[in-house]
Amino acid sequence: MEVDDAPDAKQDSKQKEKTEKNDKNKKDSKGQGQDSKAKKAPRSSWEPPPFQVPPRFCPGDSSVAGLPDRQENELMVIKEIFAGAVEELSVDPGAERSESTSGQRPSTPVRRYRVRLSAGSADGPTAQLEVSYGRLYPMETPRLLVKVSNLTKDPWQDLTQRVAEEVERAAGQECVFQVCSVISDLLRQHHDPSNEIPLYERMQRREAEEAKLKEEAARHDRELAKKRAVEEWEKQKQAERQRMERYEEKRRAVARVADGRDPHSWEG
């Protein structure tokens, strides 16, 4: 009986070794996967923080009665120009009036919405502009909250400065559409679409562009050489024509002398 059980014991031992080996391979593979994920670090450790532009009262000559129409007209234009990017949000009166500006309490909130803006590319920088304003807008500037992604620090600082300047410049007038335009333009300005193209493809495009430039330069040289050749040929034709005219003039003069028609050969 012991002789019969020996092969089974050996088989069980081999199976156990195989199982332990597979478990080890799985652990190694899992560890490599974690290392790979750890290596995929973000492109930049710095993330743009949200920034706000608080409301400010801007007294003017505008009539309060016409403000709702002005607010609706601007929002309609924003929805038309930035189609599909506007999301209307619920108004929280308590949160919106929790802060004062210049010692004055903001007016009662009447509108809150968010506009999604981008550089026009899926992988480019994006921004979310959250707008809220009270019943006195635009006599009172809106409260803005801007959240930006995939933008480095210097462009982000430029964007925050431009937004604040645009709000200040348009104080007393509608400014949300202008702010949306400023943000969109800056996102496009600080976005390089070529970064989305694989390196080898960028190299191929660069080589193709260089080959095209060389071909255009060679074609220009050929056209210039052809033009010069034509001009030289025209000069030679003109010279030959003038030579033939002089020859023909001499031949006619000789013929006149031979016929006795040369006035210099007459005797008085």
Please tell me the distance from the alpha carbon of residue 7 to that of residue 185, in angstroms, as a whole number.
Answer: 78
Whether the model clears a pTM of 0.75, i.e. scores above it, the answer is: no
Q: Give residue 2's pLDDT.
A: 44
Per-residue pLDDT of 217-261, as tens digits, reads 888 888 988 888 889 888 888 888 898 888 888 888 888 887 765
Q: What is the mean pLDDT of the chain?
A: 79
* Torsion sign (Cα): 212, 213, 214, 217: positive
Omega into 48 within 30° of 0, i.e. cis? no
For residues 106 and 134, is the Cβ–Cβ distance under 8 A? yes
Would you call 119 exposed, middle or buried from its count of C-beta atoms within 10 A (0-12, 13-18, 19+)?
buried
Say whether 150 sits in a helix, a strand or coil. coil
Does the domain at 51-193 match CATH 3.10.110.10? Answer given as yes
What's the rounded Cα separation, in Å, for the pair 220 and 232?
Answer: 18
CA nearest neighbour of 84 among 118, 107, 132, 111? 118
Q: Helical H runs in the chain?
A: 2-39, 67-81, 93-96, 153-169, 176-189, 199-258
Reference 131, options 57, 47, 71, 62; nearest CA is 71
Instruction: Indicate the domain borders of the chain.
Output: 51-193, 197-262
Q: What's the pLDDT tens digit per position in 121-172? A: 767 889 999 999 999 999 999 999 999 998 889 999 999 999 999 999 998 8
Q: Look at the alpha carbons of 144, 148, 153, 156 in this order and tell me if their dihedral is positive or negative.
A: negative
pLDDT band at 41 (very low <50, low <70, confident <90, very high): very low
Q: Please, are residues 114 and 91 in contact by the beta-carbon 8 Å criterion?
A: no
